[in-house]
Structure 1
Amino acid sequence: MPPQSLMFRIRAALKTISLPEGGDLVGTGRVRDISVSPAGVAKADLKLDDLPPQLANDLAARAKTSIEAVDGVARAVIIGGPPPPQMSGGHANALGLTNKKQAAIAADAETLRDVTRIIAVASGKGGVGKSTITLNLALAAAARGLKVGLIDADIYGPSLPTLLGLNGVKPDFREGRLQPLMAHGLATMSIGYLVEEQKAVAWRGPMVMGASRQLFNDVDWGTLDLMLIDTPPGTGDVHLTLGQMTRNGRPLLDGTVIVSTPQELALADVRRGAAFFRKVDVPILGVIENMAYLAQADGSKLHLFGDGGARRAAQDLEAPFLGEIPILPDLRARCDAGTPVDYSLEDDEIADSFRKVFDILLTD
């Protein structure tokens, strides 16, 4: 289904939701933005924060139900609802953990002191496959014998539970800390493990920043060689939080990897994202071009989104180009099914593609 057609259908579904004072969500200007990822995750940014909380929650729930009824939508995420009820820990304890001492937002991430290297994976624009890239880089690293942690820091639209087939699985809470869920050799944590799958997360900035810090400070990460962070699209509260946090008295992040598709629309946001990370003194470790081409039966390459755009952007940014990932239909199917690639297989096309990229990243 053409993406534009799907967007129209989502907008039409939202238009059926009426407001008590008259009109509908679309006609009253309460739909600020709609986006759909290649995996069919639809995000709707609604202006509901000026409404009574009960009404806003009801509208957000109805919007989610209506969007998910649209053919072609796998899951809906509603952004911009009312502020959540005040939890006992406030902004510092957005996840509502019971250990108040650990819930405080620490200046230094104590639980990460035994993590050798921390890298954020970012994209200036949504829908470029950043979450898929992050997971597979982590799997490639684990296959190289590294102890790897993976944080899904997309508070509004967490993907990790689906990618790993862990929907509905909850982490344990022992001795005042959350325990990472182990999957495919990775220590993982996601806001998606902690909230109901169908519940809309409608938090303002301070709550988002508090929850982001807790994914680091209140999780028992132990000793790791590498931690990868799947960040939300764009540059916002989560990215600012990562740029401000420290560990062992130094910046939290050792660098960032930027993911983009080849077309100019995505590349413009890549440049803005790179400018942000440089502004907060986070090194750009490289650029990955995703969905670079579709391999044809005769061996030729069909460049659906343009040819080499991310490579040129990397040159403009004076950043390493880490490689390109082609459009791999089997990868999409595995992600939807929650069955990641087996990186112990030496002749797997998907594994080979990510191993090459990771090895370049590790060398740099």
Structure 2
Amino acid sequence: MTKFDAIRPYYDSEVNEALRSVINHPMMKAMMNFTYPDVGDEIWQEQLKRTHSIRDFQVNFVYESIQKVLQKSSDGLTTSGFEKLEPNTSYLFISNHRDIILDTSLLNVSLFDHGLVMTASAIGDNLVQKDILLKLSRLNRNFLVKRNLPPRELLQSSKVISEYIYQLLAKENRSVWVAQKEGRTKDGNDATHQGVLKMIAMAAGKENCMDYFRKLRIVPVSISYEYDPTDALKMPQLLAQAKDEVYVKEKNEDFVNLISGIIGQKKRIHIHVGDVLDRELENIKAENENVNKQIQALAQVIDDSILQSYKLWPTNFIAYDLLNETQFFSDQYSEKEKQLFERRLEMRIDADNDTLRKGFLAMYANPVVNKMRYENAGFES
């Protein structure tokens, strides 16, 4: 047993047995019937029985499932920046985080389409409490981040994750995806948590932190959805925060969010991958000797990349104008788009509740506010 066994995805040698153990599960049947509605169960089951690697499972099944999700619940996925990445090269993708499953799945679809190395992706163990979800996540090359641990165990767990990320990137030439902070962004304010960067740096040992990060080839990633399919589901937590109350999740809340994110309407989606951070890390090292200040500066560099390249949609501009009672961005959307958004607002939440209404609008408006901080922010019609 290796130190990574408790968190790692399946080895290829374990894939076939794992697939056979879930082949008759209702969730697997639902997933396959959604992906291949005109194919008999015995056909996809036979194909699964002949699958012996994670790549084959991802390319032949997961990829097709995500294409079907895009077809049924979106107006399409666009990308930018991928042409700058090198094939057969591993990268550490640090991304803003909107949707439990789709963020990393859509990134992998895009990487595959561009002939690039797909990722192993971090996932909180709170999201895979059901045995079927744990098996599917391991089949889809997820590795586990353990949540809600006592401080000493959390420190040890973070060290293991840090070493595993280095193992993947440096020794297995496998790209890695991590969110810029623990959990999804609920309010539209994307910000890199320094604790995530400190965790990644744990495996650096005595090496200078910025020199270590240069070896990992960090690429900031910005993902934006025209409509957030879980927008209304995020409201109770924001409401609790507004009242300064502790928010306690419902028993199946994560699972409901997971399913809603997949099947809910998203309209257009865009993923942008930034430049590999290199010169920026040299500059940080030259300007700061203090490690905490280096980490703080790196978090800002990642934020700058994600926020400046975030694709803004009419929904973002509409929400900004509604929230601030202005017409400032009226040239960025049509009257019809505004009416559709207002109808969604009324259908999804109690629009008479001022706190809920402002929270809902702020979720869509905050990316505009964040982008306005940059002088070169483009608001093209």
Q: TM-score, normalised by structure 2?
A: 0.28
Q: Name whichever structure is richer in strand by fraction.
A: 1
Q: Which has the larger radius of gyration?
A: 2
**What's the TM-score once normalised by structure 1's chain length?**
0.28
- Between structures 1 and 2, the one with greater helix share: 2
